[in-house]
Amino acid sequence: MLGSGRRRSAATYLTDEVRTMTTSSPTSTRQVNGVDLDTLMATVQQIKDDPCLGACRFRARNAWLGGNRNRTTVSEFHGARQDIPHLQTFTLEADEPPILAGHDEGANPVEHLLHALASCLTTSMVAHAAVRGIAIEALESELEGDINLNGFLGLDPNMPKGYTEIRARFRVKARPEDLPRIRELAEFSPVFNTITQGARVVVDVQAS
C-alpha cells in the first residue's frame, strides 16, 4: 500500500517554509517551545546537504516473561550512516488486565500503541511549530481507540482485529489564530502516518 494512494496532506505544503527557515537561520541560538533549534537545525541542514543521512532504522528487543507479560529494551538506533547508542537503555513492560488473563503489571500492547501515537503527534506539533516560530505554552491530549475483541479472539472472522478508529483530542494553549496551523503540523507525525497509511510488517519465526 506504500507509494500508492497516499493523499497529499496539508503537511506537504509546508516544505518550502521549512526550507526557508533552515536556510535563513542555521546558526540561531533560539529555543522555541523548549526545543533547541540549533541542534534541530544542524541535523536538518546535514540531511539537506546529504539526503542519504535521513535513512534511519529504529530497533527494539523483546523477551517473553511468561503468560501475557513481556519486556522490551531499546538501546540504540541507526541514523546518519552509523549505529547511535541511546544515553540509557529504556525498558518497557507489557501485560494484560485480569479480564484478559493478565496481572496488570504493565499497560497492554494496544495501550502502548496509543502512547506511541500521542507522543508522536505531540512531538511533531511542538517541534514543527518551533521551527516556524509558533509558540505553544501548554499541550495535552486524550486518546481513545475502538477495538472489538470478537476480532482478536477469532470469534468473528469478518471483524477487524486491530483498531478501527482512534480519536485524539488535543487542548493547546497558544495564540488562537495559530491553532489551525498547529493541527496541520500533526500530519508530519511518523506514528500517525504509519497507522493511517499502513506499513509492511514482515514476521519471521525461527527455532531458538
Query: 131 to 190, contacts with its own copies by CB under 8 A?
Result: 136, 138-157, 159-174, 176, 179-180, 182-183, 186-190
For its own copies, the binding residue among 30, 119, 133, 135 (CB under 8 A) is: 119
**Burial class of 65 by CB neighbour count within 10 A (0 to 12, 13 to 18, 19+):** middle
Q: Are 121 and 187 in contact (CB under 8 A)?
A: no
Task: Tell me: does residue 129 bind its own copies (CB under 8 A).
Answer: no
Report the C-alpha gap between 2 and 97 in whole angstroms.
Answer: 35
Q: Residue 173 CB, nearest distance to its own copies (Å)?
A: 5
Minimum separation from the CB atom of position 180 to its own copies (A) = 8
Q: Which of residues 33-72 bind its own copies (CB under 8 A)?
A: 33-37, 39-40, 43-44, 47-48, 51, 53-64, 66-70, 72
| Binding test (CB under 8 A) with its own copies, winner from 117, 129, 134, 135 | 117
Q: How far is CA 132 from CA 47, 53, 108, 178, in A?
A: 18, 23, 36, 11
Q: Is 27 among the residues that bind its own copies (CB under 8 A)?
A: no
Among 10, 25, 26, 116, interactor with its own copies by CB under 8 A: 116
Query: With binding defined as CB under 8 A, does residue 121 bind its own copies?
Result: yes
138 closest CA partner among 177, 181, 186, 170: 170
Count of CB atoms within 10 A of residue 40's CB?
A: 16
Applying CB under 8 A, which of residues 10, 25, 28, 107 lies at the interface with its own copies?
107
Q: What is the bridge-based pairing of β-strands 31-32 and 35-36?
A: antiparallel
